[in-house]
Chains A and B, each alone.
Chain A
Amino acid sequence: MKATPLSISAAAAVAIALVRVIFFTPYEMRQGAAQKIFYIHASSAWVAFLAFGLVGLASALYLWLREERLDRIAEASAEVGLIFMTVVLISGPLWGKPIWGTYWTWDARLTLSLFLWFIILGYLVLRGAIDDRAMRARYSAVLGILAALLIPFVHLSVYLFRTLHPMPIIAKPSAPSLPSQMLVTLIMMFVAFTLMYVALLRARYRLAVARDEAAEAYHA
């Protein structure tokens, strides 16, 4: 990844937010240090869902407009989103062990995140298994759209199954129930991770462009 103003400011923002999380945010009364995982966990989850949303959107637009750039955006966003979802799936159990007493439970949101992770992994494997560029773009766009349709069903079926996950504390009808110091830290982390996502997305997009150009030069 080249050092661009964007990537440097993203790295700096993540560093500053982390310093604030570790040294300048108070401990939560009952959960202690474990609660600090939440800042990373929730911000990664936000970015992962943003990234997967973009995959679905770019896929639908690709089938409509047939613009190769849209396919590359979907490709880049899926790969970066997978990294953030992996962070979610690692940081969640690390918090769950001291608080819930177990690393993993088949709660609705955990199950949904895990299946999203599997779907996006399948999406990337599908991309890797096709050489023809136009075919790869069409197939992955079809899968991207179907995956977007699938998510509400997975969510509904596992939600009917059972749920244990903490309920929303920010995006709810009443005012956020987080103390303002913690809320500021969380917002900083959200912004920092989103910046990092955009920086990685751009770097990954450029890689896709370079790869396609190299393939063209090779075949010419």
Chain B
Amino acid sequence: MTELVHDAWVIAVKDLTIEFRTRSAFLSAVVFALLAIVIFYFAWDPTAVAAGDLAPGVLWVVFTFSGLLGLHRSFGIEHEERAIDGLVASPILRESIFLGKAIANLVFVIAVQAIAIPAIALFYNLDFGAASLPIAGVAILAAIGVVTVGTLFSAMASNTRLAELLLPMLSLPFFVPIVLPAAQATAKLLSGRPAIEAMSWLKLLVAFDLVFVVACTLAYPFTLEE
């Protein structure tokens, strides 16, 4: 077990080092998120719909799509010069490869959100106030779900002919039980309702995370064997 976590950590550090040195995917995901936030503002009539009513929806749509940008890269980089063969041949559990990739993607998604969520507050004139911490908690729970499912599908899609198209097509239906509860919980929190009212939604998020972290970690080795 400690070996599994340790090896996963090594893989995660490797991926994050590559990303930190190039910063290509991170910067494009941040710019994409900011652009999407700005463009969404003009998709509605701001005199008819209050910005505060739009914000939760915009937040989670931007969240999923900017997440997909990073996820796609995750296994894409392993295909250059067949680096994935080196990973598979190394004496570590295959589950560790998956968990390591997922951890790196989680850090990536949370880093993008750490910029995107305050940007929404800024552009939509929202005062998160006391809701800041609970919203950060919802974002982390949602990020775990998105990243787990997305990492597995990224591993699968990167091996197919339709890589860029297939990842969103496979992932987005799986994001429904993440985006729906997350958006509902955020809306409750933003309108100043007590955190306890968002509880049933949060329970659904936690259950989703647990089931899919286990299922995807166990399923990943099946996508590897040659």
A6 at the B interface (CB under 8 A):
no
Our count of residue pairs bridging A and B at CB distance below 8 angstroms stands at 81
Task: Give B149's nearest chain A residue, CB to CB.
Answer: A146
Q: Which residues of chain A have C-beta atoms less than 8 A from B170's C-beta?
A: 122, 126, 143
CB A169 to nearest CB in B, in angstroms, measures 28
Task: Find out whether the CB atom of B177 lies under 8 angstroms from the CB atom of A156.
Answer: yes
CB A156 to nearest CB in B, in angstroms, measures 6
Q: Which residues of chain A have C-beta atoms less than 8 A from B149's C-beta?
A: 146
CB A144 to nearest CB in B, in angstroms, measures 11
B121 at the A interface (CB under 8 A):
no
A side interface size, CB within 8 A: 28
Instruction: Give the residue of A125, A138, A149 whose beta carbon is less than 8 angstroms from that of B222.
Output: A138
Task: Give A158's nearest chain B residue, CB to CB.
Answer: B180
Task: Give B162's nearest chain A residue, CB to CB.
Answer: A129
A31 at the B interface (CB under 8 A):
no
Assembly CA distance A31 to B117 (angstroms): 49
CB B220 to nearest CB in A, in angstroms, measures 8
Instruction: Give the residue of A122, A149, A161 whose beta carbon is less than 8 angstroms from that of B180.
Output: A161
Assembly CA distance A220 to B159 (angstroms): 25
Instruction: Give the residue of A122, A131, A141 whose beta carbon is less than 8 angstroms from that of B173.
Output: A122
Task: Find out whether the CB atom of A125 lies under 8 angstroms from the CB atom of B219.
Answer: no
A115-B173, A126-B170, A130-B161 are known contacts; what are 4 more A-B pairs with Cβ within 8 Å?
A118-B173, A126-B166, A139-B223, A153-B208
7 shortest interchain CB distances as A-B pairs: A153-B177, A129-B160, A129-B162, A157-B177, A157-B180, A142-B219, A122-B169
Which A residues lie at the B interface, using CB under 8 A?
A: 63, 115, 118-119, 121-122, 125-126, 129-131, 135, 138-139, 141-143, 145-146, 149-150, 153-154, 156-158, 160-161
